[in-house]
Chains A and B, each alone.
Chain A
Amino acid sequence: MKRLSACILALIAVAFYLSSCEKDDLCADGTLTTPSLVIEFYDSSNRTEPQSVTNLKYFAEGRIDTLMPGTVSKIRVPLKTDMLSTKWGFIYNEVLTSGVRPNLDYLDFKYIVNQEYVSRACGYRATFTLDPDTDANPNPLPSGGTLNQWIDDIEVMTTNIVDEFENAEEDENDVHIKIYF
């Protein structure tokens, strides 16, 4: 009798444990969710050499928030999941003898959005397939502001934007797009 009561109590305890644990109620860090584009900047005169952009600022057209990562050579650029294109503006602060001149270039990324189920806590994520980059239809499509374009060349390393690399800042192979300036 006593042993059995103990068994039932143990069963109830297990049931409580399982029903109260919130392990899968929060989308855990490190879960593969919607990736951002990983862009790395390179020196256009020495194309193998990553080059930092001094006080880079970037923003999506139509959004007030401007991202200011500082002086970096690698950035993450999110894409809209409810649109087939996202236009980003990149502000490069050109150093002149008379001071600093901000130069704004736009890149318009066109893509297809794919959705896939992740988990109860994370819901769904999006992945992207960039439209092919051809001479007739460049993708991303660059356009300048009032000044000359500071971006010289763009190289698309992969059109499948599936992974958001954990250590994108360190690993130079995990780059979707290279920008030369």
Chain B
Amino acid sequence: MMYISKYIFSLLVLASASAFAQQKNTDTIAPKPKVERYGIRVGADLHRISRSFYDDDFKGIELVADYRLTKKIYAAAELGNTKITVDEAQLNFTANGNYIKLGFNYNTYQNWLDMENMIYVGVRYGFSTFKQTLNSYKIYQNSDILPNDNISGVYNYFNEVTIYPNREYSSLTAHWAEIVGGVKVELLNNIYMGFSVRLNIKLAETEPDGFANLYIPGFNRTYDGSFGVGFNYTLSYFIPFYKKQEASKEVKKK
């Protein structure tokens, strides 16, 4: 639930921000030849930075960058580090590692005049090297012994056994693909705020012997074995390299 409210909040902020950004250009009449700026945009994920402060079990940072290739296509990358301790009912472990994601964004938003906002879809290839430390686990025992008993749920005849192995599974790797959907809005001159959601599909992994990859940095928690979800909430700065004047529609007709 906390995650869902976070998503909604992010969307609301961005929706209002983009509405605000569009207001200033409503009364323009004369169409001028459109000048498109090309360059690199670099930034960081605010969600991971802030979570590192309020969540003792999480330390993480994600740097993001995109470079405009054509009018609508951008090369995009994310680089990050995550250390997270996950407490499940039956086990507690820490995942720690680095990741990189490389791919493209396709801007589908038709900007007015010199605006440079984006509503985009994209794909990524993700790769992570990480380790997992198994801090503790319980031996699952459901000694539901009696054939006609009234015990419902889990019944342990003996006291539950918790083991603290502090066992490290290192040199783990994972490869995955991501489908990305997101928005980027220019809030101030050259400063962009962005939000994206990701659906991750695991392609390959090195599995630890006697354990499983329950959390992969960058991929996040593994669901049903091969799926993951993620999002980021970025603040970026655009560094223009050059400008290109777009060919007007009249020229195209000739």
**Which A residues touch B121, using CB under 8 A?**
4, 7-8
**Which B residues touch A119, using CB under 8 A?**
212
B216-239 residues with Cβ-Cβ distance < 8 A to A are 223-224, 227-229, 231
**Which B residues touch A169, using CB under 8 A?**
147
B122 → A minimal CB distance (Å)? 11
A156 at the interface (CB under 8 A from B): no
How many pairs of A and B residues are in contact by the CB < 8 Å rule?
130
Of A59-67, A98-106, A137-145, which stretch is located at the interface?
Answer: A59-67
**Which B residues touch A11, using CB under 8 A?**
179, 181, 197, 199
A interface SS class: mixed
**Is A14 in contact with B199, judged by CB distance below 8 angstroms?**
yes
**Is B197 in contact with A82, judged by CB distance below 8 angstroms?**
no
B145 at the interface (CB under 8 A from A): yes
B70 at the interface (CB under 8 A from A): no
**Is B157 in contact with A67, judged by CB distance below 8 angstroms?**
yes
A132 at the interface (CB under 8 A from B): no
Contact A34-B141, Cβ < 8 Å, known A1-B108, A16-B4, A123-B91: yes
Contact with B along A111-125 (1 / 0, CB 8 A): 000011111111111
A117–B121 alpha-carbon span in the complex (Å):
38
B125-140 residues with Cβ-Cβ distance < 8 A to A are 137-140
**Is A18 in contact with B146, judged by CB distance below 8 angstroms?**
no
**Is B157 in contact with A21, judged by CB distance below 8 angstroms?**
no
Contact A123-B139, Cβ < 8 Å, known A4-B121, A15-B197: yes
Among A8, A18, A27, A63, contact of B223 (Cβ-Cβ < 8 Å): A18
Contact with A along B88-110 (1 / 0, CB 8 A): 11110000000000000000111
**Is A63 in contact with B158, judged by CB distance below 8 angstroms?**
yes
A112–B139 alpha-carbon span in the complex (Å):
15
B38 at the interface (CB under 8 A from A): no
A126 at the interface (CB under 8 A from B): yes
**Which B residues touch A124, using CB under 8 A?**
90-91, 137-140, 163
A157 at the interface (CB under 8 A from B): no
A1-43 residues with Cβ-Cβ distance < 8 A to B are 1, 4-5, 7-8, 11-12, 14-16, 18-21, 23-25, 27, 33-34, 36
**Which B residues touch A24, using CB under 8 A?**
223-224
B145 → A minimal CB distance (Å)? 4
A14–B137 alpha-carbon span in the complex (Å):
31
B148 at the interface (CB under 8 A from A): yes
B84 → A minimal CB distance (Å)? 14
Among B108, B142, B157, B182, contact of A60 (Cβ-Cβ < 8 Å): B157
Contact A75-B145, Cβ < 8 Å, known A33-B140, A34-B140, A123-B91: yes
A177 at the interface (CB under 8 A from B): no
B186-243 residues with Cβ-Cβ distance < 8 A to A are 197-199, 210-212, 214, 223-224, 227-229, 231
- Give 16 A-B contacts (CB < 8 Å), ordered by A residue: A4-B108, A4-B119, A7-B181, A15-B197, A18-B227, A24-B223, A34-B141, A60-B158, A69-B146, A69-B148, A75-B145, A117-B210, A120-B90, A124-B138, A124-B140, A125-B141
Besides the contacts A34-B143, A78-B158, A119-B212, what 14 more A-B pairs have beta carbons closer than 8 Å?
A8-B121, A18-B229, A23-B224, A25-B89, A33-B141, A34-B139, A34-B142, A36-B145, A65-B157, A81-B161, A82-B139, A117-B212, A123-B89, A124-B140
